[in-house]
Structure 1
Amino acid sequence: MLHRKECNNGMRIVLEEVTSVRSVTIGIWVKTGSREEAPELNGISHFIEHMLFKGTENRTSQEIAEAFDSIGGEINAFTSKEYTCYYAKVLDTHKKMAIEILADMLLHSTFAQTEIEREKKVVLEEINMTEDTPDDIIHDLLAEAAYQQHPLAKPILGSKSTVNQMLKQDMLQYLQNQYVPENIVVSIVGNADHRFIKVVEDILSVERNKTLPDKKYVSKPAFHSKQISQTKETEQAHLCLGYEGVRIEDEHEYAMLIVNNVLGGSMSSRLFQEIREKAGMAYSIFSYHSAFIDSGLLTIYAGTSKNQLYIVQDKIYYIVDQLRKNGLSNKEWQNSKEQLKGLYMLSLESTNSKMSRNARNELLLQNHPSLDDIMKKIDDVKLDDVQQILDTLQIDQAATAIISPE
């Protein structure tokens, strides 16, 4: 059963009771990410995520870690382009302690200068690690090719120059502008009843901000069919193609997911079967769709030898073009729908997945469709809806990113 409360200060709490487990997963979600950042402060959302683990007025960073280790729990966080999440999973008997520590991190982190300087080194190493992983960084290059100067084009980690120049006052100002009750959703899933909502509300009694969250860098991006190439000493060449996708809750969202499934979203997909299984030209090839609040990006990735790069690229274009011209087979049409439904249902067996789903629904949609609602939306997709998506997959409309040793 799902309970929802909007607190007096504007913060929202959603709690789903799952009495069949002995754990509770708690996530504090903040509606801010890399697309909210000024260009000169790219990466500050991610850096703040790190700093909230570096000590509060009440606990050192080691005490935060030991608190969860001592009870067999876990605590972690992540930053995306549109939101930041801090979450913990513990036994139901320790749920109050978990929210107390998460709240302490959110409200009373000290941002000590020594910790800031130390953490800059950590984040710079994280950037170095990403740059040494071409099949990772190429997705950032594709975003840059597709979105150009828009904030969605910028990497979540930021760059070495922006991280190095971040100041404590920049972080505190960003917190004041973005970490406000109206931007916060607390999502709880597990063996906790509705009375725990009041406990969470009392612990996270943040005052209502007098002004609305700062959204001056948030605007709908234009899509560009540009190419970015980078030369790097690698064993393989890496290729990403991007087509304009659909936004979250777009009427064609599920049609896009069906197209992605057939194209490269599974082992039975056309890209996987034709390029890996039959031609043996790639070990890793797949597609995925990223939906944002006002736009989307359908991405195709392939890693292959440098001598086969353009052969693989042409083969991908051919497969996409054939799919666009001829549409789905009856078998693909039926299987992709059932696969989507199965993936949704299986994902909801995890309290972590439930917590994330409920948080995103509340944070981005202010709506909580039931599983039956989602199944119906998938069943209601028509072939005409899928064809409308396919018609947008023109070869000359693709953004391209390439990393190659030559």
Structure 2
Amino acid sequence: MNKYYFKIYTFQGILGIFFVFSIFILPSFGGDAVIKNVLPNKVTILFKQTEGEGIIAGSIFIKGGSVEDPAGKKGLTNLTLSLLLKGSKNFSAFEINKVFEDSGGYISTSVGEEYSTIEFALRTEDFEKGMEVIKDMIFNPLFPEEKLQMEKKNVIAQIRAKKEEGFSYAFDELRKEIYKGTPYEYSPLGVEKDVSSITVKDLKKRWSELLIGGRFVVSFVGDMQYSEVESKIKDVFSRIKDAPYTFPVYSYDIFRRKCKTVKREGAQSTILVAYDAPNATDKGYFSMKVLNGILGSGFTSRLFQELREKRGLAYAVGSFFPTRINMGRLIAYIGTAPEKTEDSLKGIVQVVKSIEKGVKEEEIKIAKEKIIGHFLLEHQTRAKQAWYLGWFETIGLGYQMDKEYPEKINKVNKRDILDVWKDYIPKGYRCVVVKP
């Protein structure tokens, strides 16, 4: 227990010190001198030059994630992106990774509900070779059968493992309640039965759907001039099929109060309570970020102070507000002893409701410092700078938001927080209680 507290207090202290340090000394990260080039085929290229030790990093965002997986094929997009790294016409899986790892870097893929990514980093002298590999991955993937079978086993093992972990299991159950009737009900990993049935033909079809210009936002941050690499970048990404893309729109509003209880073996109860919240481009987005910071970010938050410090209910407690293009949600959580389940659920609802009575300026100040401090800490690597530039552009806020984000957070005031609370929280909530 003492070790746990030491880690929390130390981390928060570092954040506070870094926040002050960043205001007076560090230059702003991202957004400065960013070149944006939309190619004729609608691929968006972002490039930011840095000075340093000869490193360049990139993030390839592909609009379209697991919510586009068809019925009976949940998990298809995740498998498709994973198999991109398992071999192409001119490079084996070993050779793909070797090019980046021998350069002191890496290459990886990931899939979320709304977008997919290919991320990489390497030394500048190896950039041309890296782009050659990525070009072959994109246009000549093999999707080898034996690798698909291995990856399906890995994914199924991950799906099963989630059922053994209280929070992951509870969150997957919560999805069914807060995204009811939409593809967001399913984890990007998919459904075990569906994953088992996915074929190489399915992967090829899905990749052809993703490989259109309007889906791609490609961001680079590195110690090179754009003029040095422009022709290499265009040689890869100008070959993608010219076609537009618009994110699908889904909605499911949370009204009234509804809870679902699920039984599972274990030593503790896990409770998740979800409320409606703004989407990424909605007016109240930044206000909800600060509200979430006040409610559930760290040991100074209301949930921690009230439910853990004062009432002794929590093993772990907090809240999070994931950025979404569709159906934003504010989610509070707690892990507690089974005999404290009812009190813990009531406690979460009470703490969230307590915002109605007002927030203190000190709470707002601390929440902002944490948000901005974390944001700046994340920008210490070129890889994260590239990721944020591409991410902001992909979700519709524009790459400029990478520079403007701290200012947007700082502008949130007490009235904004109370307004966003009134707009979303009183409507109701959905909760999942997982207990032995």
TM-score higher than 0.5 here?
A: yes
Aligned to 1:403: 434
User: Aligned ranges for residues 60-139 of structure 1 at < 5 Å?
Assistant: 60-139=92-171
Aligned to 1:219: 249
Contact 1:13 1:197 in 2 (8 A): no
Shift of 1:14: 0.6
Contact 2:271 2:431 in 1 (8 A): yes
Aligned to 1:347: 378
Shift of 1:58: 1.0
Equivalent AA in structure 1 for residue 232 of structure 2: V
Aligned to 1:206: 239
Q: Give 1:7's match in structure 2, choosing from 39, 48, 51.
A: 39
Shift of 1:402: 2.0
Equivalent AA in structure 1 for residue 310 of structure 2: K
**What is the rounded CA distance, in whole Å, between the counterparts of 2:263 and 2:109 in structure 1?**
33
**What is the rounded CA distance, in whole Å, between the counterparts of 2:90 and 2:306 in structure 1?**
57
Answer yes or no: is 1:385 the counterpart of 2:379. no
Shift of 1:6: 1.0
Equivalent AA in structure 2 for residue 235 of structure 1: A
Closer, same or farther: CA 133–97 of 1 in aligned 2, 3 Å? farther
Equivalent AA in structure 2 for residue 66 of structure 1: K
TM-score in terms of structure 2 length: 0.86
Deviates further, 256-265 or 174-183: 174-183
User: Aligned ranges for residues 259-278 of structure 1 at < 5 Å?
Assistant: 259-278=291-310
Closer, same or farther: CA 362–330 of 1 in aligned 2, 3 Å? closer
Closer, same or farther: CA 64–278 of 1 in aligned 2, 3 Å? same
Equivalent AA in structure 1 for residue 367 of structure 2: S
SS of 2:342's equivalent? helix
Deviates further, 369-378 or 308-317: 369-378
SS of 2:82's equivalent? helix
Equivalent AA in structure 2 for residue 204 of structure 1: F
Contact 1:86 1:102 in 2 (8 A): no
SS of 1:25's equivalent? strand
SS of 2:48's equivalent? strand
**What is the rounded CA distance, in whole Å, between the counterparts of 2:150 and 2:112 in structure 1?**
23
Shift of 1:370: 5.4
Answer yes or no: is 1:161 the counterpart of 2:209. no
Contact 1:275 1:312 in 2 (8 A): yes
**What is the rounded CA distance, in whole Å, between the counterparts of 2:164 and 2:354 in structure 1?**
35
User: Aligned ranges for residues 206-355 of structure 1 at < 5 Å?
Assistant: 206-209=239-242, 212-213=244-245, 218-224=248-254, 226-324=258-356, 326-355=357-386
Contact 2:317 2:335 in 1 (8 A): yes
Shift of 1:371: 5.7
Q: Map Cα deviations across residues 88-122 of structure 1 (whole Å, 9 max, x no partner).
A: 11122222222222222222111122222222112
Moved beyond 6 Å, runs of 4+:
none
Shift of 1:392: 4.4
**What is the rounded CA distance, in whole Å, between the counterparts of 1:197 and 1:361 in structure 2?**
22
**What is the rounded CA distance, in whole Å, between the counterparts of 2:381 and 2:371 in structure 1?**
17
Shift of 1:307: 1.1
Deviates further, 109-118 or 369-378: 369-378
The alignment-based identity, stated in percent, is 21
**What is the rounded CA distance, in whole Å, between the counterparts of 2:116 and 2:354 in structure 1?**
39
Kindly tell me the number of residue pairs found equivalent between the two proteins: 401
Closer, same or farther: CA 306–296 of 1 in aligned 2, 3 Å? same
SS of 1:275's equivalent? helix
Q: Give 1:35's match in structure 2, choosing from 31, 49, 67.
A: 67
TM-score in terms of structure 1 length: 0.92
**What is the rounded CA distance, in whole Å, between the counterparts of 2:268 and 2:274 in structure 1?**
20
Shift of 1:154: 1.3
SS of 1:285's equivalent? strand
Answer yes or no: is 1:374 the counterpart of 2:374. no
Equivalent AA in structure 2 for residue 389 of structure 1: V
Aligned to 1:183: 215
Unaligned runs of 5+ in 1: none
Unaligned runs of 5+ in 2: 1-32
Quote the RMSD (CA, aligned, Å): 2.0
Shift of 1:266: 2.3
Deviates further, 298-307 or 92-101: 92-101
Equivalent AA in structure 1 for residue 313 of structure 2: M
Shift of 1:285: 1.0
Contact 1:73 1:91 in 2 (8 A): yes
Shift of 1:69: 2.8
SS of 2:322's equivalent? strand
